[in-house]
Amino acid sequence: MAQKKVITNPELVEAIEELRQTSQPQQALNNLINRALNATFLVPAKLEQEEGMVEGADGKLDFEQRTTKAHFMLLKHQSGGSYFPAFTDMEEYKKLKSADEGGFTPVALTFFDLAGMSEKAGGEDRLEKVEGFVINPITHNYPFTNERLAQIRELLMKVQKAQQEGKVINPDGSVDE
């Protein structure tokens, strides 16, 4: 049986706290983004399961429960938008009482998973506009808005292109030829 990975992100939590206390915000923000890019988060979801037939190792057909859909929790912001809550560890996740009470299950998602979900759910034609995701909404309450996610995506594409061309990216985002 596969062992479950325990999700913790102490470096990311430290980076959020550093950003709020520093006199060098750009350097601290870059550090926070780098930590977030490599993080795995716990996100509350209601999972729909259905029973389906699968072929067992012995070649016989068997019934198996499979997750077919996930409905992710949204938190409404006082300004009107909604955010996906993302938690750095189980201790932070448990602070959101409505997750347990609402029948939600923690699902492990990467930064890129959350960014993609936010982008897809943030369209103008949606009933409930998703503005991004928020890390540890009960304690740290650090948002990654769709606008910020688009800036990060643009920078990552710029870095990738520069690397393919053998160029150097400076910490300020400029490119050396």
Question: pLDDT digits over 122-166, tens only?
Answer: 665 555 689 999 999 999 999 999 999 999 998 888 878 877 887
Span between the terminal Cα atoms of the chain, in Å? 51
Helix 10-21 and helix 25-37: axis angle, to 10°?
A: 160
Distance CA 23, CA 143 (A): 20
Q: Which pair of tokens denotes residue 2? A: 């596969």
Q: What does the pLDDT read at residue 36?
A: 96
Over residues 59-102, the pLDDT tens digits come to: 777 777 665 688 899 999 887 789 999 999 999 999 998 877 88
Q: Report the candidate in 79, 88, 78 with the shortest Cα–Cα distance to residue 42.
A: 88
- What three-state secondary structure class fits 23? coil
Per-position DSSP letters for 29-47, written without gaps between them: HHHHHHHHHT-EEEEEEEE
User: Is a pLDDT exceeding 90 seen at residue 35?
Assistant: yes
